[in-house]
Amino acid sequence: MRRAQRGASKPPVFTNKSAIVTGGGSGIGAALTRALVTAGADVVCADLDLAAAEKTVAGVSGPGSATARDVDVTDADQVLQAVEDVIGTHGRIDLMFNNAGISLLGDTEDLTLAQWDAIIDVNVRGVVHGVHAAYPRMVAQGGGHIVNTASAGGLMAGGLLTSYVMTKHAVVGLSLALRTEAASRNVGVTAICPAAVDTPILDKGELGPVRGRDYFLKGQGIRRPIDPDVLAGKVLAAVAADKSLVVEPVQARIAWRIARLSPAFVLRSGTRFVEKQRARAR
């Protein structure tokens, strides 16, 4: 794939590149599908909700193409079959976006084991299934790029979101570790670590009276969530430049730096925020 030059202003081009985007029916996945098609890629928009994937595909335009596919990322065989079908059609798999994810918001003592299992299955095993299916084939074909959607919560920690934070830390760790292995195999690995993105996940994941949108915005010091199409453009630019992490917006990068420089300060701030959220919910 073409690598962007430092300082280049032109959008990345992925002409004739084959791609799979999981969780493509909405949010970041839908935006990635649109951006990839605009950049010339041939995309499989995969989602557990086939109707949502079909809606995404119906709204794309560009030199590339998109097809909808029903894929449950917790089913390793379904993910593997999607990759094999792309290889059967295009001869290779160039881009694998492991994007599907869910959130659970609320006090950890309220979580059931079934909820823990559900978020681990989607957010961790779903990514593992994508890596397991695509990475060996990228190694065999001599190149490719894997993009795993994590979160700013994969770089920092926030209470009332413990299960989500745990899974996203796992995704970041997997991505950075695999990147060190994959570099000599001409396979790139990038983790997406955004703060609040204007997607349906902001209004989901509530446990009890704690509201998702209020938490995700105020908890990260962000007035407005990131537009998913803006994020998707930044992600494709990062892929073209073979960057390891995409941390957006600038407030998230600042908070990340502060967390590394003064973890005790961030811990105290996070503790106060949790108490304010609990007080607001009473």
Tell me the catalytic residues.
164
Contact 150, 170 (CB under 8 A): no
Query: What is d(CA 261, CA 99) in angstroms, rounded to the nearest whole number?
Result: 30
Q: At what angle do helices 113-120 and 162-182 cross, to 10 degrees?
A: 30
* Cβ-count burial 227-239 (b if 16+ within 10 Å, e if not): ebbebbbbbbbbb
Compute CA distances 15 → 108, 116, 146, 204, whole Å.
45, 40, 17, 35
**DSSP structural state of residue 226:** B
Q: Which of 114, 119, 117, 127 is nearest to 102 (CA)?
A: 119
The pair of structure tokens assigned to 126 is 């779903």
Compute CA distances 67 → 16, 40, 59, 70, whole Å.
14, 14, 11, 10
Q: Which of 166, 48, 46 is nearest to 97 (CA)?
A: 46
* CB-count exposure of residue 246 (10 Å: 0-12, 13-18, 19+): buried
Residue 111 backbone zone (phi > 0: left; psi -120 to 50: alpha; other: beta)? beta
187-194 β-sheet, strand order: 65-70, 42-47, 18-22, 95-98, 144-149, 187-194, 245-248
